[in-house]
């Protein structure tokens, strides 16, 4: 489906191929790089002072520097990272310095979500959803 306006073809978001990148703003990119590497159990594939990028299951988790002091960024979008054992993942993230926010909660059927706050004030969501299928799989 496409639309046109002012003589230009436009494509709605529904034509998107899915989420590719989530970026977290941090005031100490080096310590954030170390923390996120530990949290996700992987090293970044791109590591520069202006951006650190991780490949998490084919999706991009990016870190960008900001000068503001950490504060809970409740106005930001929350991305939920798929996990198999939400309770264990939640406990692990808290054990490495995340603050508890929303403990894993059943939100219907087998679907469970939870959130923690990273050391830079970003809300990091985790989700267990056994019925979710990526398009094309």
pLDDT in tens, 20-37: 889 999 999 999 999 999
User: Mind listing the pLDDT tens digit for each residue in 51-82?
Assistant: 999 999 999 999 999 877 766 566 666 889 99
Report the C-alpha gap between 44 and 14 in whole angstroms. 30
Percent of the chain residues topping a pLDDT of 90: 64
Rounded to whole angstroms, the Cα distance separating 34 from 121 reads: 16
Domains of the chain (ranges plus CATH)? 18-128 (3.10.180.10)
Between CA 44 and CA 24 the distance in angstroms is 14
* Chain center to CA of 34: 16
**Taking a C-beta distance cutoff of 8 angstroms, is the pair 86, 78 a contact?**
no
Mean pLDDT, the chain, whole residue set: 86
Which ranges constitute the DSSP H helices of 19-96?
29-40, 86-95
**CA 18-22-25 angle, 5° bins:** 165
How far is Cα 69 from Cα 67, in angstroms, rounded to an integer? 7
Residue 95: pLDDT band (50, 70, 90) is very high
C-alpha closest to that of 97 among 43, 49, 7, 36: 36
DSSP character for 76? Answer: S
Cβ(129)–Cβ(89) below 8 Å: no
Quick one: pLDDT at residue 131?
Answer: 85
At residue 97, the pLDDT reads 95
Nearest to 120 by CA among 34, 19, 42, 10: 34
């Amino acid at each position: 489906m496409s639309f046109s306006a002012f003589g230009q073809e436009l494509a709605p978001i529904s034509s998107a191929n899915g989420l590719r990148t989530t970026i977290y703003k941090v005031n100490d990119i080096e310590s954030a790089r170390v923390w996120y590497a530990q949290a996700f159990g992987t090293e970044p594939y791109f590591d520069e002072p202006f951006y650190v990028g991780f490949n998490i299951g084919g999706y991009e988790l990016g870190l960008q520097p900001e000068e503001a002091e950490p504060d809970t960024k409740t106005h930001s979008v929350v991305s939920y990272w798929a996990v198999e054992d939400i309770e264990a993942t939640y406990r692990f993230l808290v054990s490495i310095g995340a603050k508890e926010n929303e403990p894993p909660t059943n939100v219907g059927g087998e679907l469970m979500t939870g959130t923690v706050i990273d050391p830079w004030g970003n809300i990091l969501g985790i989700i267990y959803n056994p019925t979710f299928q990526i398009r094309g799989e």
